[in-house]
Amino acid sequence: MLEINNLVKRYGKGAPVLKDLNLSVQGEQLMSIIGSSGAGKSTLLRCINRLVEPTSGTITLNGTEMTTLGPKDLRRARRRVGMVFQSFNLVDRLTVMENVQSGRLGYISTWAAVTRRYPAADIERAFELMERVGIAQYANKRADELSGGERQRVGVVRALMQRPEILLADEPTASLDPKTSEQIMSLLRDLANELNLPVIINIHNVTEAKEFSDRIVGMRYGRIIFDDKPAALDAAQMDEIYAGTPSQDRQDMGAAA
Amino acid sequence: MDWARYTPAQRMKRYGAFFGVALLVTWALGSIDVIWEWVWDAPVQLADLFTRMVPPDPTNLESILWATWETINIATIATMIAVVLSLPVALISAQNTTPNVVCLWIGRFILVSSRSVNTIIWALLFVAIFGPGIIAGIIAIMFRSIGFLGKLLGEAIEEIDPAPVEALQACGASRFRVVLYGIVPQVMPAFFAISILRWDINLRESTVLGLVGAGGIGIILQGAIDTFQWQEVSMVLLTILALVIAGEVIASALRKKLL
């Protein structure tokens, strides 16, 4: 269970990107966050594993308070949080297997990492997962030889190798064509069910969000203004979520204050 | 419509700058002590020297080749040691991998002090310390190379794509492992290219080390010039030319194979 309370993130001296945000993720298998660019979706996701440092507030993952961890404990906590990225963020010059095994870098010994002699159990699990998503035949290929959809599958397997307690996906399908995008979304949904893994997805494609998620959260300029089942998201709420621009919002707030 | 690329004020400024540079060049030429008779005499001297250099004299070929071998060894050994030593320097002087600001400045200090001193000057210094010979040459080349390699490798590290690094951090990998998996693979091509380039440069630099007594073929060249053995001088110059061309060929072959 993930519990976010009073989360504030401010870059430099500007207006906060996240404003006193509260969010609780428990039973849901797959939750989508929608909102226009600049709404703070990415920042929210990155605050959870502290790729972005929150300014204030608390984030608790299954009893661990993330925001106060020192460097070493943070590394241990990050092993429990898988992340999938829009641009896949693979190491192009390494093989698919090396990329997949890099999900275990927080667990294995430095010597094993240097010599690429990964534990047998990790190799077995890697092949299982690669088989599951259909990339096992590429194990010895360089990551940059794969197509976009295949690369994102490598990204997903790398995250799953961590045996995460939660999976964060930051616009995982935004660089993919519509068909591949649907495949990745249904893959994420199926994996969430099979592994009993909560998944949070930032997504721009509202149709896909409605089709694949159990819960949708709508953000507008640092606040959550919608949080319900996909069926409850109607045209009026869509307008509300996507209306205006961050700068307009800023002015409106100034006027209100 | 009347259109001009520059306003009158801009034009005056440009003329002014041009005039200023011309004045500076005139002054610079006037201030150096040129003995013009010697300059006009140069073509005659050149022809004269040429007749004295031809044909090249191969009687000392054996010792020339031995010195060439020594030159190659100086360049290769020094490059190898410098490559190893420059790795930690590159890591601490790159913004994105330095552990802290103190290390960053130590790294930059090493780079700047290595780079700001010419190989010949390093060689003079080490000949004074180690005595004349190949050791002084190796260490001189090495000292100069550390700065070159560290600087270029450090820049390659700073130019990597940070996205995979972020992904590995998100996996909970330690700093060292992030470098190992996220940064090393990305800078590998640059690393080889820079190392080969420096070996190529070192090969040429080590041919002149002998002029200050730091080993290699330069010693023979210096001796031949001092004793006016012009035919031997031309033999040495031809050998150096062959060496440099061979180095160029090997370097480009290596580059093709590794990259």
Confidence of residue B37 (pLDDT cuts 50, 70, 90): confident
Q: Of A26-35, B137-146, B230-239, which range is least confident?
A: A26-35
**Interface predicted TM-score of the whole assembly (ipTM), two decimals:** 0.89
Q: pLDDT value at position A253?
A: 55
Q: How many domains does chain A have?
A: 1
Cα of A158 to nearest chain B Cα, Å: 9
B163 to A76: CB separation less than 8 angstroms, yes or no: no
B172 to A78: CB separation less than 8 angstroms, yes or no: yes
Q: To which residue do tokens 């091509």 refer?
A: B189
Q: Of A97-101, B105-109, B115-119, B141-145, which range is least confident?
A: B115-119
Put the strands of the sheet holding A18-25 in their side by side order: A18-25, A2-9, A56-61, A64-65
Q: Which domain holds residue A247?
A: 1-71+198-203+213-257
Q: Provide, as residue numbers in chain B, all residues whose Cβ is less than 8 Å from the Cβ of A110.
A: 176-177, 180
B170 to A49: CB separation less than 8 angstroms, yes or no: yes
State the CATH number of the domain containing residue A252. 3.40.50.300
Q: How far is CA B233 from the centre of its chain?
A: 24
* A252 occurs within a structural domain: yes
* A38 occurs within a structural domain: yes
Domains and CATH numbers, chain B: 62-258 (1.10.3720.10)
Confidence of residue A256 (pLDDT cuts 50, 70, 90): very low
Cis preceding linkage at A54, omega within 30: no
Q: Provide, as residue numbers in chain A, all residues whose Cβ is less than 8 Å from the Cβ of B185.
A: 91-94
Confidence of residue A243 (pLDDT cuts 50, 70, 90): confident
Reading phi first (left if > 0) and then psi (alpha if -120 to 50, else beta), residue A57 is in left
Burial B154-177 (b: 16+ CB within 10 A, else e): bebbeebeeebbbbbbbbbbbeeb
Q: How far is CA B64 from the centre of its chain?
A: 24
Confidence of residue A252 (pLDDT cuts 50, 70, 90): low
Q: Provide, as residue numbers in chain B, all residues whose Cβ is less than 8 Å from the Cβ of A77.
A: 172
